[in-house]
A and B are shown apart, each in its own frame.
Chain A
């Protein structure tokens, strides 16, 4: 039996004792009991786990995420990636001790904050100028090679136009959201109709302001479909590899 780590939290001993006494009813994956390994004021929340592929499936990944989410409502935490198994409590203690400063620095960075995801979708054909696409039709009847090159050229122009549009949108959204004192990380768009893909880190009490900001943006850009998700534990804002 190994130890599966769910999250590393910063907490006073009394709060963690309440958690471990099941006053708040959280269990690990497969209904396993949670326990905690501490070093100073940081705690790794763990449960037993078997090192088998059968324990690493979608259902347990979702259960794992649910545990982290519950914990994030109560503590400032660093979420672990699913599959973070170590051999024993003693080994976890060694890791906490060795990485204490980095863990504390990351905890301070995310204290009192939540992560949100913001994705924006639009029908890309609305963005690509029609005349460029028309050139392909003019080329009909010409050689196969010319058509091929024109098609490739149009694809390139379409990508460029989409990229320019994404950049403009990025600037506009940043102007609105930075007023909320948020940290924004823009990710690569996922292709297709996705024109904006970012994660935000901001104070928990700013959630309503963020929601209202996105509603305002959505009202202004009726051609866009905005998807805001969260609050999440700060998965995208931890920068640490435990050694």
Chain B
């Protein structure tokens, strides 16, 4: 019975996971990152990924409102 409360829906879980690994946890300071060649690119990649998650959520919201797959 207890397990029913844990939401195992894949899409919700993915958003929860990405929210954590992309925006939480231990970070390396900007000073250090900048001192290493190309590292900025990595963080840029993460920001782009984050943006795509937000877009995905927005698409899901729109889909819910219109009731279509568009």
Contacts and interface: CB of A to CB of B under 8 A. Distances in A.
Interface of A: 8, 51, 53, 55-58, 61-62, 64-65, 68, 78-87, 91, 95, 106, 117, 192, 208, 211-212, 214-215, 218, 226-230, 232-233, 235-236, 238, 240-243
B45 A56 contact: yes
Nearest to A207: B2
Interface in B4-58: 5-7, 12-14, 16-18, 20-29, 31-32, 36-39, 41-46, 48-49, 52-53
Interface residues of B, number: 38
B70 interface: no
8 contacts: A83-B46, A84-B27, A84-B28, A87-B37, A215-B1, A215-B5, A227-B12, A229-B6
A80 B25 contact: yes
Residue among B7, B12, B45 with the most chain A CB within 10 A? B45
Contact of B28 (A53, A192, A232, A241): A241
Given A53-B45, A62-B17, A80-B26, A243 B32 contact: yes
A18 to B, nearest CB: 24
Contacts of A208: 2
Contacts of B29: 241-243
Given A81-B26, A86-B28, A229 B21 contact: no
A86 B24 contact: no
Contacts of B28: 84, 86, 95, 241-242
B15 to A, nearest CB: 10
Contacts of B6: 211, 228-230
Contacts of A212: 2
Contacts of A78: 25-26
A108 to B, nearest CB: 15
A51 B41 contact: yes
A81 B21 contact: yes
B14 A81 contact: no
Contact of B26 (A8, A51, A65): A8
